[in-house]
Amino acid sequence: QVQLVESGGGLVQPGGSLRLSCAASGFTLDYYAIGWFRQAPGKEREGVSCISSTDGNTNYADSVKGRFTISRDNAKNTVYLQMNSLKPEDTAVYYCAAKFALGYNYCSEYGGASPSHYDYWGQGTQVTVSS
């Protein structure tokens, strides 16, 4: 059974940090680009970051550049999103998604921020930034 499971969300004060994990089962992430998305109440789902399958190339939304870092550990079949200097406007449900991308750099060529491009989705994890 193909599955992506996010974890690591929670309540954190402004300026704090969280690390989200996205663990895959039923398939190997080696050939997949991974995107992190978020959706706040009443808003559309937006792309946060993308990491390619080939060379680990990464993209970030302007709103999180310099604060968030995406990484992958193919041996653990897991992708991470380290979130630092969190702000109240980062509050949202965070989702990871997998896009099959064998032999090309999906994040660089396509940006990685289009939800419709992705093949598999996790169920989401809530991140709340509040004092």
Tally Cβ neighbours within 10 Å of residue 87.
13
Contacts of 84 (CB under 8 A, 6+ apart): 17, 67, 68, 69
In this prediction, residue 95 carries a pLDDT of 98
β partners of residue 83: 18, 68
Report, as ranges of residue numbers, the positions in the chain whose pLDDT lies below 50.
Answer: none
In this prediction, residue 109 carries a pLDDT of 85
In this prediction, residue 55 carries a pLDDT of 78
In this prediction, residue 65 carries a pLDDT of 97
Helix (H) or strand (E) holding 108: helix 106-110
Please state, in angstroms and rounded to a whole number, the distance separating the CA atoms of residues 36 and 49: 5
In this prediction, residue 103 carries a pLDDT of 83
In this prediction, residue 108 carries a pLDDT of 87
